[in-house]
Structure 1
């Protein structure tokens, strides 16, 4: 039985609204700053309403080469999008196949293989960036889309989550599929993938944002503007050798960099939440 407590509901919603406003404040300030003129930003007062130059700033970024980078912002966003999609899809494909092999196949040192994969959680890209750069350079993948994606597509976290989910499935499910004549590949395609769709959706959102926000690896591996990403280009835009950095353009580019992750979260919100809290797993 659920008791209705109006005062408690009002208090809870008030706390949630205040918390949401606090988290939204930096984004709101960035949007407002992106519409101001350079003089208004350096006037000493914080702009609390939209300026009249916002459209001009965004059109400048999208149509003209970004200062310090050399290509328009739309190309930077396209590079980031290709990188994020490649990393997210690659991580999901490798993780679900690895988890499938670890759970449903019997082979020597199976548990040892799992722990070797799990140990890689302690080796992020920042720790192994020198040997990774050496391997990518030897393969001739620097300044290329494969060079952006391939070093980051292995995911111990996703492998672990898929493995834990597969272990909750009843063994009778595989036995029934085997009786019906389904081989390992058909069992994976027709049964495991449909059952894993909420997990795939939740992990896709997380991995897409992870790939989109990459800064260090693109900064090291990409030296040409043709493969630069929007996140690494923000730093170059704010570097000024002869005057004040163009903060009005930097904030506008920050807003542009926020849009694709927000769109992915909004479009996949229902699946993302279901994949995290689904009690039927």
Structure 2
């Protein structure tokens, strides 16, 4: 019986090693010089050039795309991810609240219209979306980077399903106390939704952080370049053109914010996904 219980752990450890080995190589490569990596001779132990590699990546960037430091690209990506996550949560909370707790003509039509947008991600409607941004003069702006991505049918659906589990007695008690809709939303619905909000925030932050196609299309200004797009542009056409040590240092720094968010909110994230009794 014990032998049968060991095998799942063996496969789990093996899977972790396989998936984490490229990250380990990236981390080790960021501590060596460009010539060592250029020869294809990447040791398995850290090298002596970590400080200078990270300092160059942080302050001036590297590769053929010199001029955009990692600190600026990280700040842009952080702002974009936070705005996207916060915008998606706020809009989804309010739309789900209206669909569940208000009765008005066309209520379900509005919900299904939101739900249908799941079949129309930004990649599918990218040309008309870009045309709208051009007409509104939002190209090369943070607003143009964020606004097309803040609507979320998935978050609206999840909040709607949760709001439908709130007992009707809560609504009746709020009415007896003289609470209006927004007070009921603030004092009852929001406190009950904290774990759901935390779980969705982690998912939506990583979604915003990993955006590539839309920032690549809408942003031409280096001052608004995101870290994901910047990493791609740091890579030249041939290996001899690439400062792989600086590129790997930038890649490691690009990993830190999403990993930090997951670690800081891990307890809330798991609780929001598995908790069934509210």
TM-score range, shorter chain: over 0.9
Tell me the TM-score normalised to structure 2 length: 0.95
Q: Is residue 81–residue 212 contact of structure 1 (8 Å, CA) maintained in 2?
A: yes
Pair 101,69 (structure 1): closer, same or farther in 2 beyond 3 Å: farther
Q: CA deviation at 1:47?
A: 2.3
Pair 214,69 (structure 1): closer, same or farther in 2 beyond 3 Å: farther
Q: Is residue 139–residue 218 contact of structure 2 (8 Å, CA) maintained in 1?
A: yes
Corresponding residue for residue 169 of structure 1: 166
Of 18, 21, 46, the match for 2:17:
21
Corresponding residue for residue 49 of structure 1: 45
Contiguous gaps of at least 5 residues in structure 2: none
Q: Is residue 38–residue 240 contact of structure 2 (8 Å, CA) maintained in 1?
A: no
The number of residues matched between the two structures is 277
Query: What do you get for the CA RMSD once the two structures are aligned?
Result: 1.7
Q: How does 1:125-204 map to 2 (within 5 A)?
A: 125-204=122-201
Q: Is residue 74–residue 254 contact of structure 2 (8 Å, CA) maintained in 1?
A: yes
Q: CA deviation at 1:19?
A: 2.1
Corresponding residue for residue 238 of structure 1: 235
Tell me the TM-score normalised to structure 1 length: 0.94
Of 81, 86, 108, the match for 2:83:
86
- The CA distance in 1 between the partners of 2:178 and 2:259, in whole Å, is 44
SS in 2 for 1:89: helix
Corresponding residue for residue 103 of structure 1: 100
Q: Is residue 58–residue 250 contact of structure 2 (8 Å, CA) maintained in 1?
A: no
Q: Is residue 215–residue 231 contact of structure 1 (8 Å, CA) maintained in 2?
A: yes
Q: CA deviation at 1:43?
A: 2.6
- The CA distance in 1 between the partners of 2:30 and 2:128, in whole Å, is 40
Q: CA deviation at 1:205?
A: 0.3
Corresponding residue for residue 33 of structure 2: 37
- The CA distance in 1 between the partners of 2:232 and 2:7, in whole Å, is 42
Pair 44,61 (structure 1): closer, same or farther in 2 beyond 3 Å: closer
Corresponding residue for residue 269 of structure 1: 266
Q: Is residue 61–residue 246 contact of structure 2 (8 Å, CA) maintained in 1?
A: no
